[in-house]
């Protein structure tokens, strides 16, 4: 597989099929990128498990930390690795030793290990490198346009404002839409106008 560029259908297929994600390197510090990604994915309905030996005994958004993949105690669909590239191979080797290996190994932005990817793929595991599932989810579901990120699409038509329960292209339900009376009025006025 060419890991320099991924087809949208490959990424979409992964994000639509996985239900449980173990995030290796998750942090309870709310300014860390792993915290934001963990929270975002949990809010989109994924069953998230934080994996970090330095935080065992603590919880991240109500989910208790586990020290290693071996401590998961149950199968997971995807392992999202928030470690630098030099730590990827040991995580992949640990994942391959699990009683039920994951379907996907995902390496975060800035991380890549082609040898580890080849090893995982040889065991029948899908691999994504140098990408963030939070960003890819937002991009493929069009939520990223609501966050003020340039989508590189020139259009005079604005993306719809997310409302609670809105169906997205990734076949998951949006959690967008504030609980304030002003935002509720704006969404109602917009729906009545169309």
Question: pLDDT for 8-45, tens place per residue?
Answer: 999 999 999 999 999 999 999 989 999 999 999 999 99
CB 100 within 8 A of CB 106: no
Confidence at 139, pLDDT banded by 50, 70, 90: confident
What does the alpha-carbon distance between residue 188 and residue 194 come to, in Å, rounded to a whole number? 10
Of the candidates 140, 148, 114, the residue with the CA atom closest to the CA atom of residue 2: 114
Instruction: State phi, psi for 58 to the nearest 5 degrees.
Output: -105, 175
User: What does the pLDDT average to over 182-194?
Assistant: 59
Of the candidates 39, 46, 36, 26, the residue with the CA atom closest to the CA atom of residue 104: 46
Is pLDDT at 160 greater than 80 in this prediction?
A: no
User: What does the pLDDT average to over 63-82?
Assistant: 96
Instruction: State phi, psi for 123 to the nearest 5 degrees.
Output: -90, 5
Q: Which tens digit of pLDDT belongs to each residue from 86-101?
A: 999 999 999 999 999 9
Per-residue b or e along 123-147, where b marks 16 or more CB atoms closer than 10 Å to that residue's CB = eebbbbbebbbbebbbbbbbbbbbe
Q: How far apart are the first and last CA of the chain?
A: 45
Q: Is the alpha carbon torsion for 45, 49, 50, 51 positive or negative?
A: negative
- Mean pLDDT, the chain, whole residue set: 84
Q: Where are the beta strands (DSSP E) in 52-158?
A: 59-60, 63-64, 78-81, 104-107, 126-128
Lowest mean pLDDT among 16-25, 32-41, 119-128, 175-184: 175-184
Q: Which pLDDT score is estimated for 180?
A: 47
Helix (H/G/I), strand (E/B), else coil: 188: helix
Is pLDDT at 179 greater than 50 in this prediction?
A: no
């Amino acid at each position: 597989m060419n890991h320099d560029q991924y087809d949208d259908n490959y990424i979409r297929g992964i994000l639509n099929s996985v239900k449980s994600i173990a995030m290796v390197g998750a942090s309870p510090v709310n300014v860390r990128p792993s915290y934001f990604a963990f929270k975002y994915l949990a809010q989109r309905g994924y069953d998230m498990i934080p994996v970090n030996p330095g935080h065992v005994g603590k919880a991240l958004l109500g989910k208790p930390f586990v020290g290693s993949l071996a401590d998961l105690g149950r199968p997971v669909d995807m392992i999202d690795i928030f470690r630098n590239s030099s730590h990827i191979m040991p995580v992949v080797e640990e994942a391959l030793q699990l009683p039920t290996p994951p379907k996907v190994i995902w390496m975060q932005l800035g991380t890549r290990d082609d040898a580890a990817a080849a090893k995982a793929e040889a065991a029948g595991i899908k691999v994504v490198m140098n990408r963030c599932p939070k960003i890819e989810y937002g991009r493929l579901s069009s939520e990223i346009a609501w966050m003020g990120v340039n989508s590189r699409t020139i259009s005079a038509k604005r993306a719809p404002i997310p409302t609670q329960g809105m169906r997205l292209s990734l076949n998951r339900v949006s959690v967008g839409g504030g609980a304030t009376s002003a935002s509720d009025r704006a969404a109602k006025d917009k729906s009545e106008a169309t």
